[in-house]
Structure 1
Amino acid sequence: MTLISSRERARPSRSTGRPSNKLPGLAMAAAGVALSWGVHRLVPAVPMLTAAVVLGIAAAHLPGVRALVRGAGRPGLTLAGKRLMRAGVVLLGLKLGLDDVLGLGWATVVMVLVTVVATFFGTLWLGRRLGLRGDQPLLIATGYSICGASAIGAVSEVSGSDEEDVATSVALVTLCGTLAIAVLPLLHHPLGLDDAQFGRWVGAGVHDVGQVVATAQTAGPTALTEAVLVKLMRVALLAPLVAAVAVAVRRRRAYDAEAGAGAGAAEGKRPALVPLFVLGFLAMVVVRTTGWVPAAALDGAQHAQELLLAAALFGLGSAVHLPTLVRTGGRVAALGLCSWAVIAGVSYGGVLLTT
Structure 2
Amino acid sequence: MPRGFAALKKTAPGLLAAAAAVALSFLLHLLVPAVPVLTAAVILGLVAANLPGAAAATTGPLKPGLALAARRFLRIGIVLLGLKVSLVDIAGLGFGALGLVVLLVLTAFAGTYAICRMFRLPGDEPLLIAAGFSICGVSAIGAVAAARRSRSGDTVVPIALVTLCGTLAIAALPVAGALLRLDPVVFGTWAGASVHDVGQVVATAQTAGTAALAAAVVVKLARVVLLAPMTAAVGLQARRADRASGSGAGPRPPLVPLFVLGFLALILVRTFGLLPAPALEVASVLQELLFAAALFGLGAGVRVRALFASGIRAVAAALASWALVAGLGLGVAVAITG
Q: What TM-score comes out, normalization by structure 2 length?
A: 0.95
Q: CA deviation at 1:51?
A: 1.4
**Separation (CA, whole Å) in 1 of partners of 2:336 and 2:204:** 21
1:28-53 CA-to-partner distances (Å, cap 9, x unmatched) read: 11111111111122222322112111
Which of residues 284, 293, 316 in structure 1 aligns to 2:298?
Answer: 316
Select between 136-145 and 103-112 the one with higher mean Cα deviation.
103-112
**2:220 pairs with 1:231:** yes
- What stretches of structure 2 of length at least 5 have no aligned partner? 1-5
Which of residues 171, 174, 181 in structure 2 aligns to 1:192?
Answer: 181
**Separation (CA, whole Å) in 2 of partners of 1:184 and 1:294:** 34
**Separation (CA, whole Å) in 2 of partners of 1:189 and 1:47:** 22
**Separation (CA, whole Å) in 1 of partners of 2:278 and 2:108:** 36
**Separation (CA, whole Å) in 2 of partners of 1:321 and 1:150:** 23
For the 8 Å contact 1:111–1:347, the answer to whether it is kept is no
For the 8 Å contact 2:156–2:298, the answer to whether it is kept is yes
Aligned to 2:32: 43
Aligned to 1:28: 17
Q: CA deviation at 1:161?
A: 1.3
For the 8 Å contact 2:78–2:263, the answer to whether it is kept is yes
Aligned to 1:112: 101
Select between 92-101 and 221-230 the one with higher mean Cα deviation.
221-230
Structure 1: which amino acid aligns with 2:217? V
Q: Equivalent residues in 2 for 1:1-355 (5 A)?
A: 18-257=7-246, 265-355=247-337
Structure 2: which amino acid aligns with 1:42? L
- What stretches of structure 1 of length at least 5 have no aligned partner? 1-16, 258-264
For the 8 Å contact 2:143–2:257, the answer to whether it is kept is no
**Separation (CA, whole Å) in 1 of partners of 2:203 and 2:222:** 18
The structure in which a higher percent of residues are helix is 2
**Separation (CA, whole Å) in 1 of partners of 2:179 and 2:195:** 18
**Separation (CA, whole Å) in 1 of partners of 2:190 and 2:74:** 27
Select between 170-179 and 106-115 the one with higher mean Cα deviation.
106-115
Structure 2: which amino acid aligns with 1:273? L
For the 8 Å contact 1:49–1:210, the answer to whether it is kept is no
Q: What TM-score comes out, normalization by structure 1 length?
A: 0.90
SS of 2:179's equivalent?
coil
Q: CA deviation at 1:72?
A: 1.6
For the 8 Å contact 1:111–1:351, the answer to whether it is kept is no
**Separation (CA, whole Å) in 2 of partners of 1:321 and 1:204:** 33
1:224-272 CA-to-partner distances (Å, cap 9, x unmatched) read: 1111111111111111111111111111111110xxxxxxx33442122
Q: % of aligned pairs identical? A: 54
For the 8 Å contact 1:94–1:298, the answer to whether it is kept is yes
Q: CA deviation at 1:108?
A: 2.2
**Separation (CA, whole Å) in 2 of partners of 1:290 and 1:208:** 24
Aligned length: 332
Structure 2: which amino acid aligns with 1:44? P
Q: CA deviation at 1:120?
A: 0.6
Structure 2: which amino acid aligns with 1:255? A
SS of 1:189's equivalent?
helix
Q: CA deviation at 1:157?
A: 1.1
Q: CA deviation at 1:196?
A: 0.6
**Once superposed, what is the RMSD of the aligned Cα atoms?**
1.4
SS of 1:60's equivalent?
helix
**Separation (CA, whole Å) in 1 of partners of 2:62 and 2:251:** 28
Structure 2: which amino acid aligns with 1:86? R
Q: CA deviation at 1:63?
A: 2.2
For the 8 Å contact 1:198–1:223, the answer to whether it is kept is yes
For the 8 Å contact 2:193–2:332, the answer to whether it is kept is no
For the 8 Å contact 2:239–2:248, the answer to whether it is kept is no
Select between 85-94 and 64-73 the one with higher mean Cα deviation.
64-73
1:82-128 CA-to-partner distances (Å, cap 9, x unmatched) read: 11111100010000010010112223212211211111111112222
For the 8 Å contact 1:45–1:214, the answer to whether it is kept is no
**Separation (CA, whole Å) in 2 of partners of 1:305 and 1:18:** 24
